[in-house]
Chains A and B, each alone.
Chain A
Amino acid sequence: MDLFRLSISEVTHLLKTKEVSALDVMNAVFQRIDSVEDKVKAYVTLTREKALEMAVKAQKEINEGAPGKMLLGIPLAVKDNMCTKGVLTTCSSGMLSNFIPPYESTVTSSLAEHGYVLIGKTNMDEFAMGSSTENSGFHVTRNPWNLERIPGGSSGGSASAVAADECIAALGSDTGGSIRQPAALCGVVGMKPTYGRVSRYGLVAFASSLDQIGTLTKNVQDAAILMNVISGHDPYDSTSAPLTVPDLTGVLDKDIKGIKLGIPKEYFIEGIDKEIEAAVYAAIKNLEGLGATPVEVSLPHTEYAIAAYYILATSEASSNLARYDGVKYGLRAEGKDLMDMYLNTRARGFGSEVKRRIMLGTYTLSSGYYEAYYKKAQQVRTLIKQDFEDVFKHVDLLVTPTTPTAAFKIGEKTADPLQMYLSDIFTISVNLAGLPAISVPCGFTADNLPIGLQCIGKHFDEETIIKVAHAYEQSTDWHRRKPVL
């Protein structure tokens, strides 16, 4: 039995029945990493020593029968933009290549409380800016299904680590599709909860009003388990919702009869890959067979989402990234005076996509342009939210493709940022509206590249999308297919 292939619930079962130990599982995962990481390059940092410590501790707790701990001995990967105390946290940026946080993010504290084992920190587009993980300041991560292709981004490291079984599950972050898009392209489950459901404290900010932490898992059940652990109000994050968190595993096996699926016509447009369109329609048929009713709906402002997003996200980013000035931590490139030091540090520390976005955001916030860009984009954002509110009066969730195309080739779009930005066309509106959404595997292209189905829910209604995604997943075997490495 290949322990590294298993899901959270499967590993938990084996650990509970003492068939294997937490160390066995951890060792199996590192052996897998040793055999495939050279090809995939999912990680920035592997935390072997810390993992050993955590596995030993977890096993002790298993032996003592620690109740209520949902991740005892589960090897997980964490995207490298979540602060882990004493463990390098780089955001895949030269700027933070030496940054060891003195504090722990709320999400990883929650994972630790439940006994997880940290395997390592995964690669990403620098500061989560990108859709292919090619913007990493360190190295390119490859799609386990085809090593010539990108894994998606910005959580490409987490998605490929899950797809390649280099961990049992992983955390990612999603600002415009950064969990769902790589999940779709790597054939795994990617869950972005409602904005405010999971604390952002300790998540290195890209665009504060859009960033949300979520999960990359081998199946929907694991997404529910992980979400149960990381969800909830955090006094350290004012934007986290003071709401009670439902047990998402409780809805897994509920049937979906009578559920109304909204199919937004704006998501089935020219430019969408025919194979993807066909796979998504087939999935909708499948859901219909399970008792759901599809309804065509319209989200009329969808076409403005990308423009609004790139104004708002870059505006916030230009401010969020101002703290990397060489004064306190991270890279400092000396200069003849203060201004020179600032310029050298930021010129050397940031990659070109990050610089591009800082410049865009600085421009859109500048006096004289603020009204035309930032303010207008906020108004568009309100209209997009309104679109969703309107359709959710009539349907329980929306079903769409996650991406317009399957994984593209490494280098294919790096010269054309606008083309790259369009790969998030189906995921971006969800962040602008702050809604929960999940991507589940729904087929493969003729080239054997995974395709994702996106389910979008109402605010704080993670239950419905988990329920529908799980019902769909259980009626197919896409999630059971594994890449050959």
Chain B
Amino acid sequence: MKYEVVIGLEVHAQMLTDTKIFCGCSTKFGSEPNTQTCPVCIGMPGVLPVLNKKALQFAIKTGLATDCRISSFSRFARKNYFYPDLPKGYQISQYELPVCEHGCIGIIVDGNVKKIGITRIHMEEDAGKNIHEGAGTYSFVDLNRAGVPLMEIVSEPDIRSPQEAVEYMKKLRAILRYLGVCDGNMEQGSLRCDANISVRLINQTEFGTRTELKNINSFRFVEKALEYEIKRQIKVIESGGRIVQETRLWDPNRGITESMRGKEEAHDYRYFPEPDLVPIVVEKEWIDEIKASLPELPDIKRDRFVTEYGLPETDADLLVSEKPLADWYEEAVKLGGQPKSVANWIMGDLMRLLNADNKIIEDCSLKPNQLVDMLRLMDNGTISGKIAKSVFEEMYTTGKDPEGIVKEKGLVQISDSGEIEKAVDDVISKYLKEAERYRAGEEKLMGFFVGQVMKVTKGKANPQMVNELLKQKLSS
């Protein structure tokens, strides 16, 4: 391809504070419309905002986790525009002096770490929601969400493909979730992404004209919308046209982006410093305190898993994508589980079962100690690997301990050579013709005999012993 893609992302993350950013109202999602409002977040005449310190702390946490410089002096600004879901006619945001600047996030591209720059992280208040259904020729306005604290995390135009954009979003989401500052739920809108995208000829130094994509509210749509837009832009250029700088809306149903408004109609937000709030002065001691309280972040954890548990990087990367998953893994290893086999069981059977049930690890009734107990039963020969799979599923579904399941269902492996020998003899005498053919050199029939012995023993026979005995008996 002779074109290079340039992408920068603006991510809005709803902070997990209990109360709104400038008043004491609850931030709970999904309540009856306008039940979580007060004069302040409704924008009554005469009200004033008071900054929620927790929101500032969350923003600083995020800045520290993304290697940003934390501003000792920052301030809020008003972004002025009219919309019914914006009760004051302006949004309190940050403009000239954001709380965090100049950070980066590492993503893995072709096996190497690539740093995506973070231009800035700033705090702002969310708007309410217009509801157009069931209101006749009118619309309703629900202001429960108005004033919920948001962080806007703006990346540098360092992203070079839709896949990198997805990796960046996944990594950012993981960091936010590790920090406990955002639940990262894209479907519910607590993590939203706008993308600035342009294409240029490879080796060209200046950027092409960009468009801004909105409404891309899942990882899949991030990739699809960007892919569509790249094709569209290249097509326009190749056919001799020019890209118009504009905002485009992703339509997930039709899989296309559509022009929303051109630059001519672009808002002049008339930003100016918010006079109702004093500048934010952050003491170094507080920053240090927050820094000391940061959890181990995904990249560091991944590297540690590689060195400490000898895991391949891809395994470690997957295990650390969610903190509860990493914690689950590590608990199992600490309880004596062999690191690689624990990883295999998690990435294989456990993930498959969770995905099928649309569940997350926190909802899982299977506990790490149960997996370790099961692994022990395998190691000491009580159950076979094949039996283990069904024990695992049973543990996952019922939450019962592996010993109990094995006992209850009589799944203990038969390692008594007499019992196995009898089964082997029975099978050989039943299938004399096949035995003849085996002896004549048709060795692939071994599998058939093993299968028959297992069938007779209901899968409980120790497979190694079955193999040995069969070989011995058939060749004699």
Contact = CB atoms under 8 A, between A and B. Distances in A.
Contacts of A201: 46-48
A451 interface: no
B80 A322 contact: yes
Interface stretch (A70-78, A97-105, A268-276): A97-105
B95 to A, nearest CB: 11
B97 to A, nearest CB: 14
Nearest to B88: A323
Nearest to A196: B278
A96 B44 CA distance: 11
A342 B82 contact: yes
A322 B89 contact: yes
Nearest to A207: B275
Nearest to A237: B48
Interface stretch (A177-185, A278-286, A364-372): A364-372
Nearest to B268: A367
B44 A102 contact: yes
A393 interface: no
B82 A325 contact: yes
Contacts of B50: 235-238
Nearest to A99: B45
A325 B90 CA distance: 12
Contacts of A81: 46
B44 A239 contact: no
Given A102-B39, A201-B48, A204-B45, A323 B87 contact: yes
Interface in B41-97: 42-51, 78, 80, 82, 84, 87-90
Interface string A102-114: 1101000000000
B270 interface: yes
Nearest to A103: B39
B442 interface: no
Contacts of B277: 238-239
B46 A204 contact: yes
A338 interface: yes
Nearest to B143: A328
A203 interface: yes
B90 A322 contact: yes
A208 interface: yes
A319 B46 contact: no
A200 to B, nearest CB: 6
Interface string A335-370: 000100010000000000000000000100111001
B44 A101 contact: yes
A296 B394 CA distance: 94
A327 B48 contact: no
Contact of B84 (A200, A235, A338): A338
A205 interface: yes
B251 interface: no
Contacts of B90: 319, 322
A202 interface: yes
Interface in B253-281: 268, 270-272, 275-278
Interface string B399-424: 00000000000000000000000000
Contacts of A315: 272
A201 B89 CA distance: 19
Band of interface residues on B:
20 to 34
B278 A238 contact: yes
B141 interface: yes
A195 to B, nearest CB: 10
A197 to B, nearest CB: 15
Nearest to A341: B84
Nearest to A330: B45
Nearest to B269: A367
Q: Is the interface of B mostly helix, strand, loop or mixed?
A: loop
Nearest to A210: B275
Contact of B275 (A209, A324, A338): A209
A284 to B, nearest CB: 35
Nearest to B90: A319
A185 to B, nearest CB: 27
B46 A82 contact: yes
Given A238-B276, A319-B90, A328-B87, A366 B48 contact: no
A362 B270 contact: yes
B46 A105 contact: yes
A325 B46 contact: no
Nearest to A378: B273
Nearest to A105: B46
A91 interface: yes
A242 to B, nearest CB: 10
Given A322-B88, A338-B84, A366-B270, A203 B46 contact: yes
A83 B192 CA distance: 38
A209 B39 CA distance: 21
A277 interface: no
A125 interface: no
A329 interface: yes
Q: B49, B84, B87, B89 — which one has the most chain A CB atoms within 10 A of its CB?
A: B89
Interface string B109-146: 00000000000000000000000000000000100000
Contact of B272 (A99, A205, A374): A374
Contacts of A237: 48, 50
A316 interface: yes
Contacts of B278: 238-239
A204 B78 CA distance: 18
Contacts of A431: none
A89 interface: yes
Given A342-B82, A365-B80, A370 B44 contact: no
A82 B44 CA distance: 12
A37 to B, nearest CB: 26
A235 B276 CA distance: 13
Contacts of A89: 45
A319 B48 contact: no
B271 to A, nearest CB: 8
A374 B270 CA distance: 11
A82 B48 CA distance: 13
B49 A238 contact: yes
A329 B44 contact: yes
Contacts of B275: 207-209, 239, 316
A327 B78 contact: no
Contacts of B272: 315-316, 319, 365, 370, 374
Given A323-B89, A342-B82, A83 B276 contact: no
Contact of B46 (A202, A235, A342, A365): A202
A323 B48 contact: no
B45 A323 contact: yes
Contacts of B141: 327-328
A134 B45 CA distance: 22
A207 B272 CA distance: 13
B276 A319 contact: no
A362 B88 CA distance: 15
A321 B90 CA distance: 10
Interface in B172-229: none
Interface string A233-245: 0011111000000
15 contacts: A101-B39, A101-B44, A202-B47, A208-B275, A238-B48, A238-B51, A238-B276, A238-B278, A316-B275, A319-B270, A325-B89, A328-B141, A342-B82, A365-B270, A365-B272
Given A238-B277, A365-B80, 20 more contacts: A81-B46, A83-B44, A101-B44, A101-B45, A103-B44, A201-B46, A203-B46, A208-B276, A209-B275, A238-B276, A239-B48, A319-B78, A319-B90, A319-B272, A322-B89, A323-B43, A323-B89, A324-B89, A325-B84, A328-B43
9 closest A-B pairs by beta carbon, nearest first, are A322-B89, A365-B270, A208-B275, A209-B275, A204-B45, A202-B46, A204-B46, A103-B39, A83-B46
Interface of A: 81-83, 89, 91, 96, 99, 101-103, 105, 200-205, 207-209, 235-239, 315-316, 318-319, 321-325, 327-329, 338, 342, 362, 365-367, 370, 374
